[in-house]
Amino acid sequence: MMLRVAVALAWQKKRVGGMRMPSTAARAVHALKDENCPILISPSLVSLDLPDIWASNPTPHDFPSAHKCSNEQNAAIIDGKSTAEEIMSRIAFEVKRMKESIGKAPGLAVIMVGQRRDSQTYVRNKIKACGEAGIMSMMTELPDNCKEDEVLNALSRFNEDPSVHGILVQLPLPQHLDEAKILDVLSLEKDVDGFHPLNMGNLALRGREPLFIPCTPKGCIELLIRSGVEIMGKRAVVIGRSNIVGLPTSLLLQRHHATVSIIHAFTKNPEQITCEADIVITAAGVPNLVRGNWLKPGAIVIDVGTNPIEDPSCEHGYRLRGDVFYEEAVRVASLITPVPGGVGPMTIAMLLSNTLDSAKRAYDFT
Ligand SMILES: NC(=O)C1=CN([C@@H]2O[C@H](COP(=O)(O)OP(=O)(O)OC[C@H]3O[C@@H](n4cnc5c(N)ncnc54)[C@H](OP(=O)(O)O)[C@@H]3O)[C@@H](O)[C@H]2O)C=CC1
Ligand SMILES: Nc1nc(=O)c2c([nH]1)NC[C@@H]1CN(c3ccc(C(=O)N[C@@H](CCC(=O)O)C(=O)O)cc3)C=[N+]21
């Protein structure tokens, strides 16, 4: 009872803060691209200040059947790309407001070691997104064989630079570098990835609040909330337990009062566990791992997996595939994210949101 009151109050706070409230009517599902393939666009619930993210959606997940796809496709598709764009335009607005009133802009610093092609693409996308939102960005690139001290020195410079509000060390780092040692040095107040052990610890501990929530898990939850999914009391399965996705996602789902099971490479009969889940979030890095028969009919599926599959007919010689066998899952699930265009763009939007939050905190700007 107490809990429900707290959630209701948090929700009220959103209204007072000028956020748009979800209502059954406003939560309508719009068919965007074509009538047989609806894309979900829900009203903005984005909370750019940390505490609001904890508010669960009080409206249940029920989508008008008229908007379900015809034929064999049952799931509605969650459009992460346009949701991320909507969030980014809110961030751009806030950045502009900040510049106009205090003459300061948020700043994000990226440290990239080595020349992994995928890392280069992700970093390029992040920097481009910063430019579009009016966030200042700077980058230090170091060679694959650099010394640990060089990374630590770059990190210390950004830690001390008052125009930098967020620091991101692109992962994975080359084997010879001690990731834990490097993340320990990163200033807690600038840890916009939320990977610092204190931020992660606070995420795990009851009654404590992290300064930042890791971007990909935050993006997954944001997509669920915006799609009208009630997380509280649901059975959720997270596939993967990595520090950057699986683990914080399971912690965040628990914060939202889901009952969470975690599947990893040593789990026996994973399909029996996923079959019972109302919500499946998968981050294993194994293309097509989750088959249609792993899913309970009507399950909600969030696919974090971003796996390159060789395909000479594609522009870059590869295409992206999720962890979910999409063509099968779309017939069983009620809601699903595509790859690309699902969680990926949300990760970037959440990074910018965390950077803006950090700058607001640094300048005491509300
Ligand atoms: N869209 C986005 O924004 C992002 C996408 N990604 C993508 O998400 C995926 C996962 O990334 P990340 O967490 O960094 O990967 P990691 O390789 O660090 O972790 C993978 C996890 O999946 C588990 N796993 C691996 N194989 C299986 C299997 N066959 N069955 C069950 N569990 C398995 C591993 O288990 P164990 O612990 O036992 O080894 C591990 O916990 C990748 O495809 C990555 O590209 C990642 C970050 C952001
Ligand atoms: N310190 C750190 N923080 C991270 O957040 C981090 C990281 N290291 N290392 C690697 C992973 C991976 N990651 C992605 C971000 C965006 C997309 C993304 O935008 N994907 C697009 C497609 C992009 C493309 O076309 O290649 C999509 O799914 O639609 C994907 C993956 C962040 N990561």
pLDDT (tens digit per residue) in 150-177 = 999 999 999 999 999 999 999 999 999 9
Say whether the ipTM exceeds 0.95. Answer: yes
Is this structure's pTM higher than 0.80?
yes
pLDDT at 356 over 70: yes
pLDDT digit string, tens, across residues 211-231? 999 999 999 999 999 999 999
Say if residue 60's pLDDT is above 70. Answer: no
Residue owning the nearest CA to atom 3 of ligand 2: 170
Say whether 254 is catalytic: no
Q: What is the pLDDT of residue 317?
A: 87
- Ligand 1 neighbourhood includes 43 CB (under 6 angstroms): no
Name 124's Cβ contacts closer than 8 Å, sequence gap at least 6.
none
Q: Are strands 235-239 and 279-282 parallel, antiparallel or unpaired?
A: parallel
Q: Is the CB of 284 under 6 A from ligand 1?
A: yes
pLDDT digits (tens, 9 = 90+) for 227-272: 999 999 999 999 999 999 999 999 999 999 999 999 999 999 999 9
Alpha helix ranges (H) inside 172-330? 179-185, 197-204, 215-226, 246-255, 270-274, 326-329
Query: Among residues 104, 190, 191, 193, which one is catalytic?
Result: 193
Which of 125, 193, 264, when mutated, tests ligand 1's pocket best, judged by the most ligand atoms within 8 Å of its CB? 264
Atom number in ligand 1 closest to CA 215: 3
Contact 212, 255 (CB under 8 A): no
Q: Catalytic annotation on 62?
A: no
